[in-house]
Chains A and B, each alone.
Chain A
Amino acid sequence: MAAGSKFPSVEKAAGQDSDHDDLPHESIKDAVIRFAGNSQDGIQTIGGFLARLAGRSAREVMTYMTIPSTISGGPSIFQVHLGSGEVLSPGDEADFLVTFYQHSYDAHIESLREGGVCLYDSDNVEPNLDDKRFKLVGVPITSTSIEAIGGTAKDRGKNIFVLGLVTSIFNLNRTKLTEIIERQFKGKGEDVFRNAMLAFDSGYSYPLGKIFDKTFDLKHGESKDADRVTTDGNTALAYGLIAGGVRYGAGYPITPWSPIMETLRAELPKYGGNFSQAEDELAAVSIALGASYAGHLAVTGSAGPGLSLKMEALSYATMAELPLIVINVQRGGPSTGLPTSVEQSDLLQAIYGSHGDCPRVVLAPQDVEDCFYIAIEACRIARKYSVPVIVLSDQALSSRIEAFPEPDFETTVLPPELDQEPRDGSFKPYPLDGPTRHAPPGTRMTGGKYPVVTGLEHDEWGHPTANPQLHQQMTDRRRDKIVQLGEEIPTPEIFGGESGDVLLVGWGSTWGPIREATLKARDEGLKVSSIHFRHLHPMPNGIGEILERFEHVFVVEMNDQGLYGHGQFATLLRARYCDSRIQSITKSDGLTFKIREILAGIESGRKAVPAK
């Protein structure tokens, strides 16, 4: 990817074996490796091992996978982008492609860059040997791995065989990988672990001299934190919620949200709480609201279809001013749509989906690491302003793996609070001139009057009223506290020059690709900068001044351009700033943005809209 060798000296990591020193080594800065097979072949497992190895070798890593939305599996890929410097995207094209089947070869050979290596299972694949764009290397993966483990293992183990082969080809740290394999397989029995190691060693000792004239030396990472954690977005988000003090919640299974509820169901009891699997999405949000009303900040979540079902109860949460965390792991819509693909098309639903004037907070994490921190931020805001907060993650973030420094739990963890201090007769949950203060059940009301929380319009004491002036005042109150939050959140930093020709604007998981596109465009001499939003509603202030310093503004998002030519966040920005230069780069193919797609969008957009 990024050109130029910033890292002159190549040092081998400790523990690195040198079995293949007879072959010359080519030093490389990063590598995009794509495994193409079927979802039941365990390619996610070995991709995950490589990602974890990167995290333990001070390297950057980003993975990308496709999952068939069928029950019994089907064609699937797992792509790992390993780099010694910053890795911002899973990679537009692969440098190294492993194909297990003919269909894998046929479907993915074009995703290999020219000059790249395609390693194919010569037991299953007949490649086009006339295709001279690529280096085609055949290894009898199936038969060799069966031979290594013994006759009964059938197809199992060939993923680990390939892992051994890749370890050898890229001179990866064999000792560390063995530890990772051991941790994964030891618990499943000695036999399983022994077979895995047989397959791994067989791949590792495969005579490379027969098929390669060189091996690759992936440079050691630059990161200061040699010992980083490696995980996916859903896991990071689930633990972020726990760190934010969430102990109760409820959900209903739906892809790609389910892994978060599975984690919370298993983990929350350790923290003294519980998570309920509800009968439907309406019950899930209601159970969570019940826990929040009872004084425990709670979570519910879903994907787009489920968020639609929760909308009535979310409107109640705004009216009653109850805190609640709602996770929406976005997928392709509308309706059942593309359940295992990515899209950012729930933004307007998240902000405006409920009936009535229903202001609420919407946040989006920018990468896997941020899934952890955005969850804590959501908890902080929900508590401080006593409001529902929706977090928009997405399918790409949910399953992709990244390495990042371990959080400092001593300073980030928020303890759960249950405030049952007695309240006296002056208690007002909704003062017109102050913050919301609920008295959870269990609180003694020494003035004698107990509060009833309602979805009807109410006065400062929470008592129902249809008084016209009060409805206006309370509407102001519910809106103004969200506006006040907008004052407190920081203006996004500009990446690139402070002014220039093009400003790219992004939110959510497009952060990496937009940043990489910005770097690439600047390398080519274009004056391109970018800003990124984590707080989508309210937006931070100070954006107008930034927009003015650029000739063109392009909002990059994975949703449709809509009837009027603008994506969902672009529509909001235009509504706020009335700036007709705000244009969109959108797409709806269910895939993450490639760098070249963003660059092409800039080029065509600049032609279509002349500078001011």
Chain B
Amino acid sequence: MPTATPAPAAQPEEKLTKKDLTGDHPTWCPGCGDFAVLAAFYKVLEKLQIPHEKIVTMAGIGCSSRFPYFVNSHGLHFIHGRALPLATGISLSRPDLHVFVFGGDGDGFSIGGNHLDHAARKNVNLTYVIMDNFVYGLTKKQTSPTSPIGFKSKTDPAGSVDRPINPMKKLISGGATFVARTHAAQVKHMMEMFERAIRHPGFSVVETLSECVVFYKGAFDDGNPRKGGVFEEIEEKKWDSTPEDDKRHDVTDEQNAYALADLRYPGKFGVFYEVDEIPTKNHLEQQLAEQAQKKTEGAGAVDLLKKRFSLMK
């Protein structure tokens, strides 16, 4: 199986703890769903024991995109919408690193929407967590690409009129090789999704519904049993030849993944789509380099240049 994901270190020199990973105190509003996402990320990193210096956390612009400051790791806070191509450059030039991108719905689906499709189809090895709150929070309540029709915002005082995008369908059709959906109020489920995304070789995305308690309070109550909603998980096939298994979801079945994505809000949560056999761009580029260097018998820069210039004579 092609994989450029370095295996998490089995026995690191020093154990990586939540304390090591804690960066600045988050500037998010009290009650923001993003706190839970941060806590889940710490816990998963603790569990996987990735070498501290190999972790890179980056983001574009938005409330959730402040994430890198709150994780004590190598990090980068970039410009609006371009975190994915930036992460692509890091991942392709440094396959030894674990690359994490965090951001919101505006960053990922609106200004950065084109990059999402291309990072997905290229299957760049990285993990992307989209903290979706259905609203622009940092700029104080404008309509976002995932705001439902009728949502009243400062840019749509009479209610939003544009159809929202369907994140799961966009990601699957874009070519992402791991697509999951979770809820920030369901920490155990969120951790499981994060862990599976990190272990996946290739472009893995987790859409995490994360409530903005100031500008879109109660947006995800329908998916939260503590608020009277229903959190329904996708049942994945166990391949146990039981009659029940027929009804379960095969994560490699693209058609069924679209059917799940079309369920009425709040829909289901879990892994919608996962394929492992598509090679990562990291792997393909590495192969190109290996083949080229085999042909030139590993010649150094000076010799390669001399040889090339001799053909210009």
Report if A271 contacts B (CB, 8 A).
yes
Given known contacts A283-B85, A452-B68, is B313 in contact with A290 (CB within 8 Å)?
Answer: no
Instruction: Name the residue of chain A whose CB is nearest to the CB of B98.
Output: A441
Report if B213 contacts A (CB, 8 A).
no
Query: Which A positions have Cβ atoms within 8 angstroms of B?
Result: 52, 55-56, 183, 227-231, 235, 239, 242-243, 247-248, 250, 267, 269-274, 276, 278-280, 282-284, 286-296, 298, 312-313, 316, 320, 406-407, 409-410, 413, 415, 439-445, 448-456, 463-464
Assess the A290–B305 pair: CB atoms within 8 A: no
Assess the B313–A291 pair: CB atoms within 8 A: no
CA distance A56 to B312 in the complex (A): 10
CA distance A250 to B82 in the complex (A): 14
Assess the B292–A286 pair: CB atoms within 8 A: no
Chain B residues whose C-beta falls within 8 Å of the C-beta of A452 in the assembled complex: 23, 68-69, 74-77
Q: Which of B65-113 contact A (CB under 8 A)?
A: 68-69, 72-79, 81-82, 84-94, 96-97
Pairs A–B under 8 Å by Cβ, sample size 20 = A55-B312, A229-B309, A242-B305, A248-B92, A248-B93, A250-B89, A271-B304, A272-B293, A276-B88, A279-B117, A282-B82, A283-B82, A290-B87, A291-B90, A313-B79, A320-B76, A407-B309, A441-B74, A442-B96, A455-B77
Report if B158 contacts A (CB, 8 A).
no
Stretch in B48-56, B132-140, B183-191 touching the partner: B48-56
Report if B166 contacts A (CB, 8 A).
no
Q: How large is the interface on B (under 10, 10 to 19, 20 to 34, 35 or more residues)?
A: 35 or more
Nearest CB of A to B194, in Å: 20
Chain B residues whose C-beta falls within 8 Å of the C-beta of A293 in the assembled complex: 76, 86, 89-90
Assess the B304–A286 pair: CB atoms within 8 A: no
Assess the B89–A279 pair: CB atoms within 8 A: no
Report if B20 contacts A (CB, 8 A).
yes
Nearest CB of B to A557, in Å: 30
Nearest CB of B to A427, in Å: 12
Most buried by B among A55, A407, A453: A453
CA distance A267 to B72 in the complex (A): 37
Report if B302 contacts A (CB, 8 A).
yes
Chain A residues whose C-beta falls within 8 Å of the C-beta of B313 in the assembled complex: 52, 55-56, 227-230, 406
* In-complex Cβ contact of A413 among B74, B77, B79, B302 (8 A): B302
* Minimum-distance CB pairs A-B, first 8: A290-B89, A286-B85, A441-B74, A283-B85, A287-B89, A452-B75, A291-B93, A269-B292
Chain B residues whose C-beta falls within 8 Å of the C-beta of A248 in the assembled complex: 89, 92-93
Report if B115 contacts A (CB, 8 A).
yes
Dominant secondary structure of chain A at its interface with chain B: mixed
Assess the B312–A286 pair: CB atoms within 8 A: no
Assess the B82–A294 pair: CB atoms within 8 A: no
Assess the B86–A270 pair: CB atoms within 8 A: no
Assess the B85–A290 pair: CB atoms within 8 A: yes
CA distance A415 to B305 in the complex (A): 13
Chain A residues whose C-beta falls within 8 Å of the C-beta of B53 in the assembled complex: 441-445, 450
Assess the A274–B79 pair: CB atoms within 8 A: no
Chain A residues whose C-beta falls within 8 Å of the C-beta of B312 in the assembled complex: 52, 55, 229-231, 235
Assess the B97–A441 pair: CB atoms within 8 A: yes
Assess the A239–B77 pair: CB atoms within 8 A: no
Assess the B79–A316 pair: CB atoms within 8 A: yes
Nearest CB of B to A243, in Å: 6
CA distance A248 to B88 in the complex (A): 12
Report if B10 contacts A (CB, 8 A).
no
Nearest CB of B to A276, in Å: 7
Assess the A450–B73 pair: CB atoms within 8 A: yes
Assess the B93–A273 pair: CB atoms within 8 A: yes
Q: Which of B27-57 contact A (CB under 8 A)?
A: 52-56
Nearest CB of A to B278, in Å: 18
CA distance A183 to B312 in the complex (A): 11
Nearest CB of A to B155, in Å: 22
Chain B residues whose C-beta falls within 8 Å of the C-beta of A273 in the assembled complex: 93, 289
Assess the A289–B75 pair: CB atoms within 8 A: no
CA distance A229 to B54 in the complex (A): 44
CA distance A231 to B305 in the complex (A): 14
CA distance A572 to B55 in the complex (A): 45
Most buried by B among A242, A274, A320: A274
Assess the B77–A415 pair: CB atoms within 8 A: no
CA distance A247 to B292 in the complex (A): 14
Chain A residues whose C-beta falls within 8 Å of the C-beta of B81 in the assembled complex: 282
* In-complex Cβ contact of B301 among A235, A413, A450 (8 A): A413
Chain A residues whose C-beta falls within 8 Å of the C-beta of B84 in the assembled complex: 283
Chain B residues whose C-beta falls within 8 Å of the C-beta of A455 in the assembled complex: 77-79
Report if B245 contacts A (CB, 8 A).
no
Assess the A290–B90 pair: CB atoms within 8 A: yes
Assess the B76–A239 pair: CB atoms within 8 A: no
Report if B9 contacts A (CB, 8 A).
no
Instruction: Name the residue of chain B whose CB is nearest to the CB of A231.
Output: B312
* In-complex Cβ contact of B94 among A278, A407, A441 (8 A): A441
Nearest CB of B to A78, in Å: 18
Instruction: Name the residue of chain B whose CB is nearest to the CB of A404.
Output: B312
Chain B residues whose C-beta falls within 8 Å of the C-beta of A295 in the assembled complex: 93-94
